């Protein structure tokens, strides 16, 4: 049984929450578990992890630029100095295993652990591996992947690869659902079909604009719609609607942020969203139909490839951002919401892609390398 673990992952919630899911499941299995989280002081992890009451150590790190830049010299210096600091932390903490769930901060942590002879695992959430995990793949003991398509990115070290899924899937499946959450949280009907349109926790301007341009067309629709704009966009969106004298129909709610997302997901029929790894994990675990609008602003266009893993199986519809318009969004939403059997079929296909025991699969691999 694992007694001591070092976790690392940072930059976005998609890297941090899988690490926390692993921690919570291990803690459930072994209440005596001790954990150290190593991250960046400037990343989201500094706030999220400390609020979870997990001991946290910060290191300095930044990514390499793809073009020639003096910033790359600084990145190399940070890598070397942080690796030295991590080796000291590892010697002091003496972990059974070290796990990295993505982001630049994992590079010195997992590299130092591997060089020091400790069992190591990296977790790749996307269908196309990131640069940090590709670098670390040469040194770590195991590589957990969420999409089978990601295996081709680790072809030279294929013997290390395990299809584990994303821990977030196991978490949302076991999350307590509330059949009255729509009425309690939003004053909507608990019996009407419901669509959620959102662009992630921070929102997506392109999705927001398409969504607010169709709100008047939603008046009298046989379904209801929740639009999550993201905190940073909400005030501007509401001001725009006010200035243009656009009324919000009774069956539409516009919110800055979706609280209690797993429970809300359980009450939905269709989701319009980006195709980040964590979101797709939740959709497939719960068997939700979706219209995916991949972000074109991510490394290696990985959100497009994430989306296609669902589209190719009939589990989702794709609208690329360049093709996104109010007309196209309304057309696709109306088409699907008028065909409940099609939505049900998409949901079933999504569920076949979900891995609902991902955390346990990862822990099985960790126990294997820790022996």
Binding annotation for UDP-N-acetyl-alpha-D-glucosamine: 12-14, 126, 201, 258, 303
User: What residue ranges in the chain does DSSP mark as E strands?
Assistant: 4-8, 34-40, 56-59, 97-100, 120-124, 142-145, 161-163, 194-198, 224-228, 252-255, 270-273, 289-292, 316-318
Question: What would the DSSP string read from start to end of 101-148?
Answer: -SSTTHHHHHHHHHHTT--EEEEE-SSS--HHHHHHTTT-SEEEESSG
Binding site, annotated residues: 12-14, 126, 201, 258, 303
Compute the distance between CA of residue 7 and CA of residue 39 in angstroms, rounded to an integer: 9
Compute the distance between CA of residue 358 and CA of residue 145 in angstroms, rounded to an integer: 10
Q: What is the DSSP letter of 246?
A: P
CA angle 261, 265, 269 (to 5 degrees): 150
Look at residues 105, 106, 152 and name the one whose alpha carbon lies nearest to residue 126: 152
Collect contacts of 247-252 with beta carbons under 8 A, ≥24 apart.
247/216, 248/215, 249/215, 249/216, 249/218, 249/219, 249/220, 251/188, 251/192, 251/218, 251/219, 251/220, 251/221, 251/223, 251/224, 251/225, 252/215, 252/218, 252/224, 252/225, 252/226, 252/227
Instruction: Give CA separation, 63 vs 69, 130, 169, 234, 249, in Å.
Output: 12, 11, 29, 31, 45
Residue 301, sorted as left (phi over 0), alpha (psi -120 to 50) or beta, turns out to be left
- Sign of the alpha-carbon torsion through 285, 291, 295, 298: positive
Location of structure tokens 């670098």? 135
């Amino acid at each position: 049984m694992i007694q001591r673990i070092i976790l690392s992952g940072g930059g976005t919630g998609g890297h941090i929450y899988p690490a926390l899911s692993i921690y919570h499941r291990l803690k459930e299995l072994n209440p005596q578990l001790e954990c150290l989280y190593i991250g960046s002081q400037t990343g989201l992890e500094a706030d999220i992890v400390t609020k979870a009451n997990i001991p946290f150590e910060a290191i300095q790190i930044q990514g390499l630029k793809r073009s020639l830049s003096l910033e790359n010299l600084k990145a190399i210096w940070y890598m070397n100095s942080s690796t030295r600091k991590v080796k000291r932390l590892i010697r002091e903490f003496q972990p059974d295993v070290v796990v990295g769930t993505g982001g630049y901060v994992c590079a010195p942590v997992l590299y130092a652990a591997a060089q020091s002879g400790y069992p190591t695992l990296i977790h790749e959430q996307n269908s196309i591996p990131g640069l940090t995990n590709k670098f670390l793949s040469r040194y770590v003991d195991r590589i957990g992947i969420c999409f089978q398509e990601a295996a081709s990115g680790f072809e030279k070290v294929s013997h290390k690869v395990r299809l584990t899924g994303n821990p977030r899937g196991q978490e949302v499946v076991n999350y307590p659902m509330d059949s009255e959450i729509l009425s309690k949280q939003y004053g909507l009907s608990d019996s009407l079909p419901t669509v959620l349109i959102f662009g992630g926790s921070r929102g997506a301007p392109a999705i927001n604009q398409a969504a607010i341009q169709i709100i008047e067309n939603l008046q009298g629709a046989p379904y209801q719609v929740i639009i999550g704009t993201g905190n940073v966009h909400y005030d501007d969106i509401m001001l725009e609607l006010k200035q243009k004298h656009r009324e919000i129909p009774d069956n539409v709610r516009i919110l800055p942020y979706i609280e209690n997302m797993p429970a809300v997901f359980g009450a939905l029929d269709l989701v319009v969203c980006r195709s980040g790894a964590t979101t797709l994990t939740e959709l497939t675990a719960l068997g939700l139909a979706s219209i995916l609008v991949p972000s074109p602003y991510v490394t290696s266009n990985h959100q497009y490839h994430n989306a296609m893993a669902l589209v190719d199986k009939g589990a989702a519809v794709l609208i690329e951002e360049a093709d996104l318009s109010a007309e196209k969004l309304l057309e696709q939403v109306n088409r699907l919401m008028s065909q409940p059997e099609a939505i049900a079929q998409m949901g079933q296909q999504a569920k076949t892609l979900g891995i609902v025991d991902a955390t346990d699969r990862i822990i099985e691999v960790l126990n294997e390398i820790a022996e």
